[in-house]
Amino acid sequence: MKHNFYAGPAILSKKVLTKASEAAINFNNSGLSILEISHRSKDFVEVMEKAEALVCELLQISDDYKVLFLTGGASSQFYMTAMNLLNENEKAGYVDTGAWSTKAIKEANLFGKAEVTASSKDKNYSYIPKDYSVDPDYKYLHITSNNTIFGTQYASFPDIDVPMIGDMSSDIFSRSFDHRKFDVIYAGAQKNLGPAGVSLVIVKKNILGRVQREIPSMLNYQTHIDKNSSFNTPPVFPIYVSMLSLEWLKDFGGIPAIAQRNEEKANLIYKAIDDSPLFECPVSKEDRSKMNVVFMPTKEGIDDAFLKMAESANCIGIIGHRSVGGYRASIYNAMPTESVKVLADVINEFSQIHG
């Protein structure tokens, strides 16, 4: 058995993969593949409606929000949010916690003024900024809830008096939170939801229609709200697999159950790192991610031996992002506790031999 710690596209439940593979050949005993049915057909409309309903059920989304399934990846939301919400003469706040928020800031500046409200760049993004003031003139504040590269995560979300946008690409559905703190939530599917090719967007409907610019139809949230995410041909298969993942999560016990397991998995691997003389986690303990565990060697020349031992235990995908080095274990929802135990055992055994 391979233990897949890649940051994304990431591991999916075996049950989901089995059902998806069956549907790729024969969907709903129709004699057709899910890949070749019409997106206007009754069968796929039911898939879309069920996926939307499961998002609302699992996250307890209220009726004043709309769930959308869009293309372009979460990176397209860096500019789509600003295009829909920010006039040229207006400003928005951005909390800079790493690579993805930096990219979001760059895109937002094309449409208005994106101000860095707070940043953890001074310590190589090893913590989540806190105790900063938010300008009441901001049209919104943008945060990235979990940072895959640097291994930080918001333990709780701020209470502020302006609308808030949340990039939750790498920790959506991993824990409970109050969606009413946000006016827009977006997430690429390929971490905790489904395969690459679709993005989830949850938008509060009354925040729209306030910008003065003309917005291209495909980039206008209202277009997709009016057409139930089917203005054009949606990514049928990624949406279907996402629906299967949401079904799996519901059957698992929903958000409370998966949050408990995610806590247990994170505790397992962080304990192994903290107990080792050969590795350290550079992230402030209160801000450590439960999705992406980043750790660094404290001794030179051990990389090859450690990676070889990990590979012999069938642990793959643990090399850190190229911009920071070290190691990273991504332990998203579908990652079994048993796989995390295997990596923790590798760290423990390697430390005993080489420490």
Q: Which residues are catalytically annotated?
A: 100, 167, 191
**Whose CA is closest to 8, among 153, 148, 190?**
190
Residue 72 in tokens? 């372009």
Q: Are the C-beta atoms of residues 9 and 190 closer than 8 Å to each other?
A: yes
Residue 320 in tokens? 């850190």
The C-alpha atoms of residue 202 and residue 328 are separated, in whole angstroms, by: 29
Residue 14's Cβ-count burial label (10 Å; 0-12, 13-18, 19+) is: exposed
Name the amino acid, one letter, at 297: P
CA atoms within 13 A on the CB side of 26: 3
Residue 273 in tokens? 């790192």
Name the amino acid, one letter, at 136: P
CA atoms within 13 A on the CB side of 66: 16
Residue 49 in tokens? 């409606």
